[in-house]
Amino acid sequence: MNISNLGPVTGIRGNPGTRLIRCWITLLSITLLAGCSDGHISFLDPQGPIARAQYEHFWFVIGMCLIVVLPVFIFTPLIAWRYRYHGKAVYKPSWAFSKVMDTLIWGVPFVVVAIMSVVLWQQTTTLDPYKPLDGPQKPLQVEVVGFDWKWLFIYPDQGIATVGRLVIPADRPISFRLTSASVMQTFFIPALGSQMDVMNRMVTRLHLKASHTGTFKGRNMQYNGRGFHKQQFDVDAVSPEAFDEFVQRVKQQGQPLGRQAYTALSRRGTSEDVARALGLHGDTVRFSRVSGALFSTIVNSAHADWAAPVARPPRAGPAATTNGDSTHPGTTMPARAIPLRQTTRATSLPQADHQHRETAQ
Amino acid sequence: MNHLSDLLLGRLGRDALPFWEMLKDPTTSSIINGIIATGAAAMVILGALVVAGLLTWYGKWKILWRDWLTSPDHKKIGIMFIIIAMVMLLRAVIEAAIMRAQQALGLGGGFLSPEHFGQLFTTHGTIMIFFMAMPFLTGVINHVMPLQIGARDLSFPVMNTVSLGLTAAGAALVMVSLVLAPFSTGGWSGYPPFTESAVNPGAGVDYWIWAVTLSTLSSTLTGINFAVTIYKKRTRGMNLMRMPLFCWVSLCTAILMIFGMPPLTVATALLALDRYLDFHFFTADLGGNMMNYINLFWAFGHPEVYILILPAFGIYSEIFANFSGKQLYGYTTLVIATMAIAVLSFTVWLHHFFTMGQSAHVNAVFGIATMLIGIPTGVKIYDWMLTMYRGRVRFSIPMVYALGFLMLFTLGGLSGIILATPSVDYQVHNSLFLVAHFHNMLIPGLLFGMLAAYNYWFPKAFGFRLEERWGYRAAFSWIIGFMLAFFPLYALGLLGMPRRTVTFFTPAYLPWTLAAGLGALVILFAVYCLIMQLWQSVRLRQENATPIGDPWDGRSLEWATPAPPPEYNFPVLPEVYSHDPFTEQKSGGRAYQRPERYADITMPANTAMGVITAVTGFLMAFGLTWYMWWLVIASGAVALIAVIARGYARNTTRVIPAAEVQRTHERWLDDVARTTPVTRDHEHTRANRGLAVPPEQGAIQ
């Protein structure tokens, strides 16, 4: 056998035995997903590298745990039956300790946990949602704002934004910065990878990638009131050309994201309600001419400057996105232009986004 | 006039009535939801009226006051705790069934409004944790632990009545919220800023805050009481390493209560400051940070998980040993494992929010710490299996629950390890997988344990065995119903269905929610069986009487007393020489001996402190919820005066003369002499009057 022919040993790929297990696992997943015709809804049907790794780690954990768990399932009924009252088996009412058994019942779980801990450490650091994904292409920047019962997706480099539908290029890393304009919510696209909490006045990060084109389900996972169940969206992973086309189309046909649109967004309601408020049909809204400073304005709970030029914000490169964007303090609109919060802020707190770990303060 | 009503009723208005919305805006949805809410409110009022009516009809008010409400007897307080737990269990199970029905019909609709559903999952969780599980385990420990360590009562009997009063007040507050709605929709964990007044200004969150506050104060006091009792009131010879395992878990639970409960009391108090006095602890602005709440909450929340499960572990330890007719395997190991779990439980709280954006290394450390807890827990599981090994296993009802627990709990442990793995948790957090996991721990773990304890110690508490046909039906229905109701939730969680969602739009979820709905029906049947079991047992109490007090051939000291035990538990405090002291006495022929000499016994006198705490605590919380400040001030003043007055009370004890103790005890000993002992073969027959053939002869046929 030529060693160079062996591919990288990843996950549980390998000898025929494990391949059989893999087959069964796939079958099981298909059974779970049977009758599912509404897009990719779960990591059991992974559509990106993160979700795939999570899927494999999931089965690894189950496999390891079975070493400890299976004996319980097998021996509990056996022992209970063999040593039943009226049974013929040996009876030793004061037998209460065995060194061998105690070594086994402490030792085996310990070894299992030790092995799992090593893998856990590797996987947790490798799949850290804050860690940028490797790849030849520059990641697409997307800023996500959770409102009460819809998501606003801002494409800062393109100067556009959408509600109700997230369009991304396939096979290109996406770098998300996330916040909430309301209560705590959780941004989640199961088929692509990790979920991430979003909180008002704080920024969290997430990196995902779709391996190929397709439509996936995304949603909020953290209860935030009576419209929670409707806070869903579709994710369209499209080819790079289609993505460029999408950007051009939104730039030309999108609604302006001005004061009126922002007021509609801030009102409690679903994306359909936003569309209706703007005189549109359906549950998707596209905005053009979006200020690059909008995200940090929301994070700083500052008043947006709808009068400022809405073209591309000053942006030297990816590094600039992690610095606190200016909020144009000199040119803010009169108070209450945006009903962001009920309370009036005394001072503008420094944005927590100066460093990499915004939320680990 | 308007001004006066504002002053009197605060913000309590007509819109708090559960049918107001339905009358004001009669749409189909509001009518359905209004009818459900009104029906629930009517059940609360009717239930209260029926109880009051029966008490009056049978003229039992005086007995209720003298023998129960003002009694400092740990056994009676324990029973009252369990009664609260069972009433609340009934309500919360019905709520669960309504939620399951909603999701079974929930593809794109269903019959419940989102607000109503939000209240249902919030009350279900709050009740099950704070007003079902906590009172149940507190009641069982209260009743059994002093008997097992050979004590006459807890160290602080009056504080014990105060604890009961606080829990009763909290439970009453949650019940009243059905009549004067609404309750919070923020879930049992009540995360801000959703629960801040900016988002939820109504009375709902305040109901939740004060109910939980009352409960946590109660549990803190209970923890102190249990710990001091175990440290100070063990009988001669009962050194720590001779205590039954149930007492060890009681000690660990008590320690967890002392250190685990205050963080939640603080968290809810700070949240109340935010809501009432415009503080900014957990707001996003002005220096507040919701993460502080989440950390505080889970600094309580994780020890709480083990407060809930450890007593059940103790109960199973007693049951496996007893119904295997064998010594507990690996006693020392189990003690070490229990302590290890108690200590580790304070080091893992962060695994409840892996997805909040902290660094991967922090997540990994907490993930590994969580998996470490799996080791002592796994050891316990194997210890129980080895307890059955080479024993004589009798499949009595407690044992059915215990075997169901052993298998199902292990499965829950497996899903727990999955959730403890941060990279996988990023997928299943906040989903129904999580819901399935903790129900898998709490139903086979805690609830089966409590129901097993109920079947096991009921004859000790009341002097007759529980009826068995309905008992087996209940046990098997619980096991099957649990599997049917919660295994589908694992699948749904893996398919990405979030928790707390009123409806869904993905057809692939439907078969699973239907199966879970069916499971809920089976669980309802199980609850019906429990009610029938109790009813039949009371009817057949003469046939199933076990006055001698040892129906199961017990191993620890509580079985050496009559059933029900006298107020002072032991006429003469026993001396202990080994583990399983009662088994040893029976094998050595030293059980049921006549003491040489009797002495006067000093017991705590009755006190109304518990009742006063319950009433003032409830009124104060109710006043705070609805902004009735006069009520808050008045009830606070009464409570304060009562506490001060109690400081001047001098007749706090009551002496039971030696002659009376002797008379009672000798009458029982005469009964023992007249009673025919039974072998384990006749355990379930009428012949079982609570006297066992000595262990070895009884077990080997």
* Domains of chain B, residue spans: 1-59, 546-607+652-701
Instruction: With a cut of 50, say whether residue A360 has pLDDT above it.
Output: no
Residues 163-192 of B with CB under 8 A from A: 185-187, 191-192
Which are the contacts of A119, defined by CB distance < 8 A and separation ≥ 6? A57, A60
pLDDT tens per residue across span B456-469 = 999 999 999 999 99
Whether residue A307 is predicted with pLDDT greater than 90 in this model: the reply is: no
Query: How far is the alpha carbon of B343 from chain A, nearest alpha carbon, in Å?
Result: 17
Domain-wise residue ranges, chain A: 10-126, 140-307
Residue B272 to residue B292: CA distance in whole angstroms = 14
- Nearest beta carbon to residue B507 from set A35, A61, A226: A35
Q: Which residues of B touch A109 (CB under 8 A)?
A: 374-375, 378-379
What values do phi and psi take at A235, rounded to 5? -110, 125
Tell me the average pLDDT across A196-203.
94
Task: Give the nearest chain A residue to B432 (CA atoms).
Answer: A221
What ranges make up the beta strands (E) of A181-220?
185-188, 195-198, 204-208, 214-220
Instruction: Give the pLDDT of residue A31.
Output: 58
Structure tokens at A31: 């059974």
Candidates B360, B385, B506; nearest CB to A41:
B506
pLDDT exceeds 80 at position B683: yes
Query: What is the distance in angstroms between the Cα of B247 and the nearest Cα belonging to chain A?
Result: 19
pLDDT band for position A341 (cuts 50, 70, 90):
very low
CB A89 within 8 A of CB B390: yes
- Which residue in the set B193, B284, B327 is minimally distant from A93, CB to CB? B327
**Chain B residues 238-267 with a CB less than 8 Å from chain A:** none
pLDDT > 50? residue A172: yes
User: Which residue carries 């199973």 as its tokens?
Assistant: B316
> B531's torsion region: left (phi>0), alpha (psi -120 to 50) or beta?
alpha
Task: Look at strands A214-220 and A160-163 and give their pairing.
Answer: unpaired
What's the pLDDT score for residue B177?
95
| Residue A15 confidence class, pLDDT cut points 50, 70, 90 | low
Could you report the per-residue pLDDT of A224-281, keeping only the tens digit for each? 999 999 999 999 999 999 999 999 999 999 999 988 999 999 999 999 999 999 999 8
More confident position, A209 or A327: A209
- Per residue in B469-500, pLDDT tens? 999 999 999 999 999 999 999 999 999 999 99
ipTM value > 0.85: yes
Alpha-carbon torsion angle B134, B136, B140, B146, nearest 10: 40
- Considering CB atoms only, which of B353, B390, B427 is closest to A95? B390
Residues of chain B in contact with residue A130, where contact means CB-CB under 8 angstroms, are 357, 359-360
Cβ <8 Å between B392 and A129: no
Which position has the higher pLDDT, B426 or B8? B426
Q: Residues B669, B606: contact at Cβ < 8 Å? A: no
Return the CATH class of domain A140-307. mainly beta
B683 phi/psi in degrees, rounded to 5: -55, -35
Query: Would you tell me which residues 384-403 of chain B have a C-beta closer than 8 angstroms to some C-beta of chain A?
Result: 385-386, 388-395, 403
Chain A residue with the nearest C-alpha to that of B121: A223
Q: What is the pLDDT of residue A222?
A: 96
* pLDDT value at B387 more than 90: yes
Q: What is the pLDDT of residue B6?
A: 86
The residues of B assigned a catalytic role are 124, 153, 188, 218-219, 302, 304, 306, 317, 351-352, 377, 380, 499
Which candidate, A217, A218, A236, A220, places its Cα nearest to that of A228?
A: A220
Predicted confidence (pLDDT) per residue in B216-244, tens digit: 999 999 999 999 999 999 999 999 999 99
User: What percentage of chain A carries pLDDT values higher than 90?
Assistant: 65
Q: Is the pLDDT of residue A351 over 50?
A: no
Summarised one tens digit per residue, pLDDT across range B280-297 is 999 988 888 999 999 999
How many Å apart are CA B334 and CA B386, to the nearest integer? 12
Residue of A70, A105, A235 to mutate for B, most B C-beta atoms under 10 A: A105
Q: Which residues contact A93 (CB under 8 A, 6 or more apart)?
A: B325, B326, B327, B391, B695, B696, B699
Q: What is the pLDDT of residue A18?
A: 59
Question: A35-39, B135-139, B290-294, B373-377: lowest mean pLDDT where?
Answer: A35-39
Count of residues making up chain A = 361
Chain pair A-B, CB pairs under 8 angstroms? 315
Which chain A residues touch B359 with a CB distance below 8 Å? 128, 130, 357, 360
List chain B residues with CB under 8 Å of A89.
Answer: 390
* pLDDT tens-digit readout, A68-90: 999 999 999 999 999 999 888 99
Residue A322: pLDDT over 80: no
Mean pLDDT, residues A5-13 = 37
pLDDT class of A25 with cuts at 50, 70, 90? low
**pLDDT (mean) for B367-385:** 96
CB contact under 8 A, A72 and B382: yes
Examine residue B562 and say whether the peptide bond preceding it is cis (omega within 30 degrees of 0). no
Specify the pLDDT at position A325.
35
Is the pLDDT reported for residue B45 higher than 90?
A: yes
Name the residue in chain A with its Cα closest to that of B492.
Answer: A32
Which pLDDT value is given to residue B589? 87
pLDDT at res. B630: 96
Residue A326, pLDDT > 50, answer no
Q: Is the pLDDT of residue A317 over 60?
A: no
Higher pLDDT, B569 or A310: B569
Is pLDDT at B215 greater than 90 in this prediction?
A: yes
| Residue B431 confidence (pLDDT) | 96
Q: Residue A166 and residue B203: Cα distance in Å, rounded?
A: 38
Q: Decide if A228 and B114 are in contact by the 8 Å CB cutoff.
A: yes
**How does the average pLDDT of chain B come out, rounded?**
95
Residue A132 has pLDDT above 80, yes or no: yes
Q: Do B390 and A91 touch (CB under 8 A)?
A: yes
The per-residue pLDDT for range B77-134, each reduced to its tens digit, is 999 999 999 999 999 999 999 999 999 998 888 899 999 999 999 999 999 999 999 9
Tens-digit pLDDT profile for residues B577-596: 999 999 999 988 889 999 99
Average pLDDT, chain A: 80
Q: Is pLDDT at A345 greater than 80 in this prediction?
A: no
Question: What pLDDT is recorded for position A39?
Answer: 73
